[in-house]
Amino acid sequence: MNKKIVKWILIIVIIFWTIMPLYWFLRMAFMNPAELSLFPPHFYPHKPTISGFFNVLGFSYTSSSGEIFIPSGQADQIRRGLMNSLVLASIVTCITLIVTVPLAYTFGRLKFQHKNKLLFAILLSVALPPVSLLIPFFILFVKAGLTGNLIGLTLVHLTITIPFVAWMLMGFFRNLPPVEPLATIDGFSRIATFFKIIIPMSKVGIAVAAIISFLFSWNEYDFAMVLVNGTPATTLPASISGFLFQHPEVEHLAASVIYSLVPPFIVAYLLQKHITEMNITNPIGG
């Protein structure tokens, strides 16, 4: 009984810790400028308005009391950013999965010569700080005509998602039960073992890897700021940052951040459900 109470307290603490910073920021999207400048701050919007959500997409909004909220100057960039980010993140996720799953399997489970050297080559690319690669990437892409479009940004994102996701999947593959010898006895070749046994057993790890690559690409800011900001290929993070360098319209900033959170939350929610459906303690069944 005591244990149960402790558990419930812990769960409430976890929920509070997770939700509070988000809530504190997102509530501002529903406030009008007058309420935002009040001190002490309100815990919740007393006269909630949804004008910000229309304004950042380029629509004006008339409240029930007749007050008119005009569209934000950033609206055009925000709309483009939304589309571009969706396309970009989907492509990056697919390519990353196709590449990293076999890679991580190999490093996580097989013993072979030169393993450490290959591993080091991959880890080195994880260690490079993006800030120090910004200038060379920028100059390289200007020469190759890859600034202002999504191809260049896709390449950059892959250089980051591939090593990162591979690194994390390795730990997952190591913990799978040793089924390869059994598969060999049943007459499976290596390739068949990998595709028909290992991959179905690893859906959870792969789902998490998919979440990570999608979110990384959707959320990447440093390179987007340098490579595509202000062009038609702008991504959402780059276009949102436009709010930070002008007179702060906090309700618009908050509304556009909410838009940027929708796809990640949906992806995370769907894949999360997938995870709980898996029974990976008993993957072979029976």
Partner 1 sequence: MGYLKHKEKAGDLSNFQFALLLTLPVVLFLVTIIIYPLLYSIWASFQQISFFGGYRTNFVGFKNYIDVLHSPSFWNGAIVSLRFMVESVVLTLSVGLGIALTLKGILKGRGIMYSIIIFPWAVSCYGAGIIFKYFWGGIRSFPSALSFILGEGRSINMLDEHIVIEAISIGNAWHLAPLVALFLLANMQTIPTRLYDMAEIDNLGGFRKFYYVTLPYLRYSLFIFTSIVAVLSLKMFDYIFVQTGGGPGTASAALTYEIYKESFQNLNLGYGAAMSFYLLFLILALTILNYLFWGRKMV
Q: How far is the CB of 142 from partner 1 (least distance, A)?
A: 12
Q: Does 151 help bind partner 1 (rule: CB under 8 A)?
A: no
Distance CA 170, CA 119 (A): 11
Q: How far is the CB of 64 from partner 1 (least distance, A)?
A: 27
Distance CA 281, CA 226 (A): 45
Q: How far is the CB of 66 from partner 1 (least distance, A)?
A: 28
Q: How far is the CB of 55 from partner 1 (least distance, A)?
A: 18
Per-residue contact track with partner 1, 154 to 193, x per CB under 8 A? Answer: -x--xx--xxx-xxx-xxx-xxx-----------xxxxx-
Q: Does 131 help bind partner 1 (rule: CB under 8 A)?
A: yes
Asked whether 52 and 251 are in contact (CB, 8 A), the reply is yes
Q: Does 118 help bind partner 1 (rule: CB under 8 A)?
A: yes
Q: How far is the CB of 159 from partner 1 (least distance, A)?
A: 5
Per-residue contact track with partner 1, 186 to 205, x per CB under 8 A? Answer: --xxxxx--x--------xx
Q: Residue 212: which of 254, 275, 145 has the closest Cα? A: 275
Q: Residue 122: which of 137, 134, 107, 112 has the closest Cα? A: 107
Q: How far is the CB of 79 from partner 1 (least distance, A)?
A: 18
Chosen residue from 45, 71, 73, 130 binding partner 1 by CB under 8 A: 130
Omega before 45 within 30 of 0, i.e. cis: no
Per-residue contact track with partner 1, 263 to 282, x per CB under 8 A? Answer: -xx-xxx--xx-xx---xx-
Q: Does 107 help bind partner 1 (rule: CB under 8 A)?
A: yes
Binding region for partner 1 (CB under 8 A) out of 15-23, 47-55, 60-68, 73-81 = 15-23
Q: Does 65 help bind partner 1 (rule: CB under 8 A)?
A: no
Chosen residue from 5, 68, 127, 185 binding partner 1 by CB under 8 A: 127
Binding region for partner 1 (CB under 8 A) out of 50-58, 72-80, 86-94, 210-218 = 210-218
List the structure tokens of 266: 């949906």
Binding region for partner 1 (CB under 8 A) out of 46-54, 56-64, 86-94, 211-219 = 211-219
Q: Residue 256: which of 271, 246, 267 has the closest Cα? A: 246
Q: How far is the CB of 82 from partner 1 (least distance, A)?
A: 14
Q: Does 86 help bind partner 1 (rule: CB under 8 A)?
A: no
